[in-house]
Amino acid sequence: MVNQPKKFTRRIEDFDCVKCGTKNVGTGFTNHCFKCLWSKHVDINPGDRAESCGGIMEPIKIDFEKGKYLINHKCVKCGFNKRKGVEKNDNFDAVIAIVKKNAK
């Protein structure tokens, strides 16, 4: 059996953050709160909303690869991990806070 590439479904959805309550305006690529960077475990493939877990995903680590910052999220309910690039409207102070937290 050949591995199938992940399918992406663009969904433009606004949402209130489950962690901090901030209203977020979706772009179709938005998967986390721009203020606190927390996410929600709702997708199997990006945008499909097929994951039944529904747990909140903590931004636990920031990677820097090929000139881009990447947020590592971990679901507090099931432990699933995923990464997503930092967007231009994300709170960069929150990114730096995660970097500093992991530097200790």
Q: Which amino acid is at 79?
A: G
Please give the Cα distance from 78 to 52 (Å, whole number). Answer: 11
pTM of the model: 0.89
| Domain presence at residue 94 | yes
Helix (H, G, I), strand (E, B), or coil: what is residue 92? helix
| Domain presence at residue 9 | no
Q: State the residue range of the domain holding 65.
A: 15-103
pLDDT (mean) for 71-96: 97
Strand partners, 74: 58, 81
| Domain presence at residue 41 | yes
* Tally of CB atoms within 10 A around 72: 17
* Tally of CB atoms within 10 A around 78: 13
Q: Tell me the pLDDT tens digit for each residue of 26-75.
A: 999 899 999 999 999 999 999 999 999 999 999 999 999 999 999 999 99
Q: Which residue has the tokens 């199997």?
A: 44
| Domain presence at residue 2 | no
| Domain presence at residue 77 | yes
- Total count of domains within the chain: 1
Query: To the nearest 10°, the Cα dihedral for 71, 76, 77, 83?
Result: 10
| Domain presence at residue 56 | yes
Looking at every residue in the chain, the average pLDDT score rounds to 93
